[in-house]
Amino acid sequence: MLVYCDERQKEEVWQILSNLGVEIKAWAYDRETMKMWLPGGRLLEDWIRSHCLNDEQADQVRKDALLRFNKMFENDDAIFTGIIQ
């Protein structure tokens, strides 16, 4: 499950989730999450494995991800505006 919330509300959100039976939490900021989609990042590599891509396909996905996400990290002061999926 993935839940987005304002940092100021995370304890309130955690209370709601724990009341629903969620037992594990791992908070990550948008920037940290997006970096996990870079080549070598846990989310991208898990996605590649889950789709059983061959080496050539996996390399292409990594190149595409690098092009897409590097633009997001060019300016440390830029406001995160999300991505088009």
What pLDDT, on the 0 to 100 scale, is given for residue 21?
94
CA–CA distance, 2 with 77 (Å, rounded to integer): 26
- Do 44 and 13 sit in the same domain of this protein? no
- 3-class secondary structure, 75: coil
Residue 46 lies in a domain: yes
| pLDDT confidence band for 84 (50 / 70 / 90) | low
Residue scoring higher pLDDT (35 or 54)? 54
| pLDDT confidence band for 29 (50 / 70 / 90) | confident
Residue for token digits 């080496």? 55
What pLDDT, on the 0 to 100 scale, is given for residue 32?
86
pTM over cut 0.85: no
- 3-class secondary structure, 10: helix
User: Count of domains in the chain?
Assistant: 2
Domain span at residue 15 reads 1-27
Is residue 82 pLDDT above 80, yes or no?
no
Per-position b or e across 14-51, b if 16+ CB within 10 A of its CB = eeebeeeeeeeeeeeeeeeebbebbbebeebbeebeee
Asked whether 53 and 64 are in contact (CB, 8 A), the reply is no
Residue 83 lies in a domain: no
What is the mean pLDDT of the segment spanning 44-61? 97
